[in-house]
């Protein structure tokens, strides 16, 4: 016999699909199948269910580089000790866990004077900086579904990174005012490569890699009816720029989705600045919004919880006893490069795989702990690896979608026997930290 659970939230990316259907065995221990998920989401659910290959107890790195199993109590002690002893511990990650867990982590960070940072550091951090400069006209994904007739994907490839985005929100849905679906939408893709996403576009502007800023500003000028200089702008023929501007202005509701192509390339926050200003300019002619394609399923949530508790969305430095924020200075990458942290705590992300190697080496050098259900490059260079239950699969919790909509993820199966959740582990660490600090 089997059980079917509907309305399941997928804990992979910022699309935060909430229509998954998960079938489990009767005991609620093993996932048999997943419907409606993309390949990545399905893999997350199915792989988690393979308990035989799960790390189920904490492990500690030995002198010879091998790992030995330790108890959760020992892991809690190790974690509390390194955080309390450090003057400026870095507590990084947070994007693949629930808001409830993040909140407990923040209590620990405040007690220990840590730097709290999330994966925006290597993803949409520059977007957050740009928003702090110029604001952001935006909307929820349902508005896109119901109204949008002009959709731009700039520097992002949802076919690969947010696979169900186009069918759930941005290209194919038939919404209240968009009954014809794809047919009444014009899609523009701006990307140095003709990607799988651009194959669905009406127009692909193959921008020269790293020159998006120029193209964005040129579009702003074209939108305002100003003449452009030169025949080719950022690798795009001038006529195509004018055409794109006209296409955008002629719509009645447009949206720009953007990603790493503009946040991580040269120009960085200035690229996003220009994209937001383009959106704002377009509001003088028609209705336009812009939405960041957030990566992890709860990086947005981490930014929200940090925001209401400390006032800043990432790279928050609590080491002086009050919160400070200055991304180039207080962000994980630069802090690791400058060797300013003296302990590293990673939860809900994998900097070992996704940080530049020089920063990974620094993490390996410092007293460290990694809390993650998986074995990852991070867990394999930290002193202690603490496995925890998968949020959204084995424990529920609140998450925030890329458009900031909060959706509560569910528990669909039991975690492996005796495994703690992030929140339980953090609560135990908090208790121990409070004891150590009181002495």
Partner 1 sequence: MSEITINLISGRTIQQGVSMEGGKEKDKYRLACGIIEIDESDFKRLGVMKNTNVKVTSDFGSVVVKAIPATQGPHPGVAFIPMGPWANKVTSTETYSTGMPTFKGVPITIEPAPTEKVMSSVDLVRSYCFGDN
Partner 2 sequence: MSEYIIKNGTVYDPKTSVKGEAKDICIKDGKIVDKVSSKAKSIDAKGKTVMAGAVEVHAHVAGPKVNEGRNYRPEDKLFSYKPTGKNTRMSGGFSIPTTFKTGYEYAKMGYTTVMEAAMPPLYARHVHEEIKDTPIVDEAAFPVFGNNWFVFEYLKNNEMDNVMAYISWLLRTTKGYAIKIVNPGGSEAWGWGENCNTIHDPVPYFDITPAEIMKGLLTANEKLGLPHSIHVHTNNLGNPGNYETTLDTFKLSQGIKPTNKFGREQVLHHTHVQFHSYGGDSWANFESKAKDVMDYVNANKNMTIDLGCVTLDETTTMTADGPFEHHLTTLNHLKWANVDVELETSSGIVPYVYDPNIKVCAIQWAIGLELALYAKDPMRTFVTTDHPNAGPFTRYPRIFKWLMSDKSRQDMLKGFKNSDKVIAATTLASLDREISLYELAQMTRAGPAKSLGLGHMFGGLDKGMDADVVIYDFDEAKNKDPEQIEKAFSAAEYVFKSGTLVVDHGEIVNNGNKRTLWVDAKVPENTQVERDVQMKFLKYYSVNLNNYEVSDHYVPNPYVIEVDSN
- Which position among 98, 195, 423, 427 is part of the footprint of partner 1 (CB under 8 A)? 195
Shortest distance (Å) from residue 184 CB to partner 1: 27
Strands 384-386 and 150-154: unpaired
Residues with Cβ within 8 Å of residue 47, at least 6 apart in sequence: none
Instruction: Quote the DSSP letter at residue 300.
Output: H
Shortest distance (Å) from residue 400 CB to partner 2: 7
Cβ of 380: how many Cβ atoms within 10 Å? 15
Q: Is 22 helix (H, G, I), strand (E, B) or coil?
A: strand
The H or E element containing residue 422 is helix 422-438
- Of 146 and 264, the one with the shorter C-beta distance to partner 2 is 146
Residues with Cβ within 8 Å of residue 280, at least 6 apart in sequence: 134, 135, 137
Residue of 246, 347, 391 lying closest to 238 (CA atoms): 246
Residue of 174, 171, 173, 223 lying closest to 198 (CA atoms): 171
From the list partner 2, partner 1, none, partner contacted by residue 22 (C-beta under 5 to 8 A by kind): none
Shortest distance (Å) from residue 251 CB to partner 1: 27
- Of 299 and 429, the one with the shorter C-beta distance to partner 1 is 299
Q: Which two tokens stand for residue 158?
A: 């949802």
Shortest distance (Å) from residue 320 CB to partner 2: 8
Q: What is the DSSP annotation of 222-264? A: HHTTPPPPSSEETTEEHHHHHHHHHHHHTSSSEEEEE-HHHHS
Q: Which residues bind partner 2 (CB under 8 A)?
A: 6-7, 9, 18-19, 99, 103, 110-111, 128, 131-143, 145-147, 168-169, 175-177, 252-253, 280, 283, 286-287, 289, 303-305, 307-313, 318, 321-325, 398, 400, 403-408
Map the footprint of partner 1 across residues 366-385, applying CB under 8 A.
374-377, 380-381
Shortest distance (Å) from residue 427 CB to partner 1: 27
**Stretch binding partner 1 (CB under 8 A), from 135-143, 236-244, 283-291, 347-355:** 347-355
For residue 384, report the phi and psi dihedrals to the nearest 5 degrees: -135, 140
Q: What is the DSSP annotation of 356-417? A: -HHHHHHHHHS-EEEE-SS--TTTTTSSEEE--PPBTTTB-EEEE-TTS-EEEE---SPPST
From the list partner 1, partner 2, none, partner contacted by residue 181 (C-beta under 5 to 8 A by kind): none
Determine if 93 is a binding residue for partner 1 (CB under 8 A).
no
Determine if 415 is a binding residue for partner 1 (CB under 8 A).
no
- Of 32 and 266, the one with the shorter C-beta distance to partner 1 is 266
Shortest distance (Å) from residue 265 CB to partner 1: 4
**Stretch binding partner 1 (CB under 8 A), from 168-176, 193-201, 301-309, 415-423:** 193-201
Determine if 418 is a binding residue for partner 1 (CB under 8 A).
no
Shortest distance (Å) from residue 288 CB to partner 1: 25
Shortest distance (Å) from residue 138 CB to partner 2: 5
Contact 363, 382 (CB under 8 A): yes
- Which position among 19, 25, 149, 334 is part of the footprint of partner 1 (CB under 8 A)? 334
Residue of 432, 414, 374, 318 lying closest to 72 (CA atoms): 432
Q: Which residues pair with 190 in a beta bridge?
A: 154, 205
b/e per residue 129-155 (b: at least 16 CB within 10 A): bbbeebebbbbbbebbbbbbbbbbbbb
Determine if 338 is a binding residue for partner 1 (CB under 8 A).
no
Contact 162, 15 (CB under 8 A): yes
- Of 113 and 210, the one with the shorter C-beta distance to partner 1 is 210
- Of 303 and 415, the one with the shorter C-beta distance to partner 2 is 303
Shortest distance (Å) from residue 88 CB to partner 1: 16
For residue 188, report the phi and psi dihedrals to the nearest 5 degrees: -120, 130
Determine if 203 is a binding residue for partner 1 (CB under 8 A).
no
Determine if 315 is a binding residue for partner 1 (CB under 8 A).
yes
Residues found near partner 1 in the complex (CB under 8 A): 12, 39-40, 43-44, 47, 53, 65, 121-122, 125-126, 129, 157, 159-161, 163, 192-196, 206, 209-210, 260-261, 263-266, 268-269, 315, 327-334, 337, 350, 352-361, 363-365, 374-377, 380-381
């Amino acid at each position: 016999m089997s059980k079917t659970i509907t309305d399941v939230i997928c804990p992979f990316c910022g699309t935060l699909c909430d229509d998954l259907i998960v079938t489990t065995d009767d005991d609620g221990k093993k996932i048999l199948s997943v419907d409606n998920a993309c390949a990545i989401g399905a893999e997350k659910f199915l792989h988690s269910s393979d308990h035989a290959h799960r790390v189920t107890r904490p492990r500690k790195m030995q002198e010879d580089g091998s790992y030995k199993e330790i108890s959760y109590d020992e892991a809690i002690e190790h974690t509390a000790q390194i955080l309390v002893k450090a003057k400026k511990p870095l507590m990084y990650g947070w994007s693949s866990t629930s808001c409830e867990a993040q909140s407990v982590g923040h209590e620990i960070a405040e007690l220990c004077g840590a730097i709290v940072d999330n994966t925006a550091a290597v993803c949409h951090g520059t977007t957050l900086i740009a928003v702090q400069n110029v604001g952001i006209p935006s909307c929820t994904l349902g508005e896109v579904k119901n109204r949008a007739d002009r959709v731009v994907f700039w520097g992002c490839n949802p076919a690969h990174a947010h696979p169900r985005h186009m069918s759930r929100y941005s290209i194919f849905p038939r919404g209240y005012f968009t009954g014809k679906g794809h047919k009444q939408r014009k899609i523009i893709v701006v990307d140095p490569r003709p990607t799988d996403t651009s194959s669905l576009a009406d127009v692909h502007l193959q921008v020269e890699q790293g020159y998006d800023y120029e193209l964005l500003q040129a579009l702003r000028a074209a939108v305002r009816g100003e003449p452009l200089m030169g025949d080719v702008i950022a690798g795009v023929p001038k006529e195509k720029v004018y055409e794109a501007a006209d296409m955008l202005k002629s719509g009645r509701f447009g949206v720009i989705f953007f990603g790493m192509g503009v946040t991580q390339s040269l120009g960085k926050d200035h690229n996003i600045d220009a994209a937001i200003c383009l959106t704002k300019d377009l509001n003088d002619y028609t209705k336009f919004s812009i939405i960041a394609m957030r990566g992890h399923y709860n990086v947005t949530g981490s930014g929200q919880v940090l925001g209401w508790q400390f006032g800043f969305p990432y790279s928050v430095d609590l080491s002086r006893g009050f919160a400070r924020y200055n991304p180039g200075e207080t962000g994980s990458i630069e802090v690791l490069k400058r060797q300013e942290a003296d302990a590293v705590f990673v939860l809900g992300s994998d900097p070992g795989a996704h940080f530049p190697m020089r920063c990974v080496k620094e993490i390996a050098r410092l007293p460290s702990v990694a809390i993650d259900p998986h074995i990852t490059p991070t867990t394999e260079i930290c002193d202690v690896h603490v496995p925890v239950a998968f949020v959204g699969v084995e424990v529920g919790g609140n998450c925030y979608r890329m458009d900031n909509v909060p959706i509560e993820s569910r528990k669909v199966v039991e975690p492996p026997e005796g495994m703690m959740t992030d929140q339980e582990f953090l609560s135990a660490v908090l208790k121990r930290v409070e004891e150590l600090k009181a002495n």
